[in-house]
Structure 1
Amino acid sequence: MTELGDKLPIGSYQSLGITGCACLVIPELNVVAARMYNQTKPNPAGYDYLADIKTFGNMVYHYARHL
């Protein structure tokens, strides 16, 4: 299992922080994207962090490749 979105090209990687922040690197596009969440309380009931972080990566890739 991976936290990377299924649309990201091979070689992409990300670093996740304890407060919900993420730094995604897509070398193929020379792109670095940061997401700041800065959460201090537990996730709400039903929140799927893994699905959310995968969606973030897929969205970054989708829009960055059209720049």
Structure 2
Amino acid sequence: MAHTLTHAAAPIGIFARLRSLFEEAKEARARRTLYVQTVKELERLTDRELADIGLARCNIAETVDRHVFGH
């Protein structure tokens, strides 16, 4: 006698979707906080200190954006 097993994919419920959205928002907020803190810390450095790490003052925001958000 042959038996066939079928599995229906569990539908994603509203609570799972809400939890996912909450986690995405939480991660976005954490990344934004990291971005703001990093930019502030780098802006406090002197031009000489920035040059020592290979960064120009005019490139701070772009560089941090690329590293934090991957843009």
Larger strand fraction of residues? 1
Q: Same fold (TM over 0.5)?
A: no
Larger-gyration structure (1/2): 2
TM-score (norm 1): 0.30
